[in-house]
Every structure is written in structure tokens, then in C-alpha cells.
Structure 1
């Protein structure tokens, strides 16, 4: 015999979050720290790609695909960072042109 399915109210472990509280939590995110973390991630990918290239040239890595993948990840992350930077500068310039 199949037991009756309990309603959502009976599920334990669900935290009820006030929408105003959730908005306050999301506004606490520091934009400068987020950018610093992103730039650090790009830097780490660049270092990983450089290390993979050195390891391949010294014979520690035999699979050239690992080196190419690491280099491509670093390249794509740098391109993304560059495009985001361009958009930020573009937005800043647009805001400065606005008349109040």
C-alpha cells in the first residue's frame, strides 16, 4: 500500500526567508572585493597555464591536451575580464555624460 504524501508544510529543514532580509543580504556584497576575487582567479589560471607549459617542456606532463586546455582557459578568462572592464568603463562614461 502507498502512503499518503505529506504536504510541503511538513517538510523539516526549510528556512523561511523574509524577502526584505534576502535583499539586505544581497546588497552587502562588496563590488570591489568581487572584482578583486575575479582578477585573482584570472591570475591563478594564468599561473596554472604557465606551470603546465613548463611541466610539458620539462617532460613532467606528456599530454599536450592538458597544456592546451589550461592555456585556453587562461586566455578565455583574460578576454572575459577585458570585456567586462571595457563595459564598466563604457558605463562609467555614459553615467558621466548624463545631465542632471
Structure 2
């Protein structure tokens, strides 16, 4: 892994850590904001994030295959794995929702 890539990863981790610290301080405010969004909007936002990860990984793969010297194989593989994990997570959430819906519909009132 190259030095700029290590620096970029370190900066990203520091940024995430500072965001997490800020969220801990504003915990009540963020809980209210999530409550206002609703389940449907959070589900839609998650699907959009998964889609964006897949588009980004595919674009990077195409650029790598075209011979772009700025794309490193290890970065490409990490992005492809992130995309795959996100998709599998979305698939499992969908399966759980379908199962829950069927359980609720089969309840006797």
C-alpha cells in the first residue's frame, strides 16, 4: 500500500472518529432526527447507499480494466468487497422484512 493511500485511510478513520464523538455529544438530537425520518425513508436511504457503493465499485473496476494508472488493485478489491458486503446486508434485511410481514399476516386476531 502506498504512503498516500495510508495517509488517506488514516484521515478517513480520524474523520469517522470525530463524527462518532460529535454524535455521542448530540445523542438526543440525533435520536429525534432519526425518529422524524421514519423507517421507510431510512430503508430508502440505505438502498441508495448500497446502489452508490455498487456503482462506484463498478466504475473503478472498469477504469482499472481500461488501464487507468490511478487505480490500484488493492483499492479496487476493497471497494468491491464493501459493495458485496453492503449488498448481502441489504438482502438479509429484505429477507427478514419479508419473513416478519408473513408472520404478521398469518397471526390470528
State TM-score, norm by structure 1. Answer: 0.71
Does residue 29 of structure 1 match 2:8?
no
Q: CA deviation at 1:31?
A: 1.2
**1:81 and 1:49 mapped to 2: Cα distance?**
17
Higher Cα Rg: structure 1 or 2? Answer: 1
Q: Tell me the C-alpha RMSD between the 2 structures.
A: 2.5
Q: Structure 2: which 5+ runs fail to align? A: 1-24
Q: Which runs of 4+ in 1 moved over 3 A?
A: 22-27
Cα 1:28–1:52 change in 2 (3 A) is same
Paired position in structure 2 for 1:89: 98
Q: Point out the structure with the larger helix share.
A: 2
State TM-score, norm by structure 2. Answer: 0.65
Q: Structure 1: which 5+ runs fail to align? A: 1-13
**1:33 and 1:63 mapped to 2: Cα distance?**
35
Cα 1:32–1:75 change in 2 (3 A) is same
Q: CA deviation at 1:27?
A: 3.8
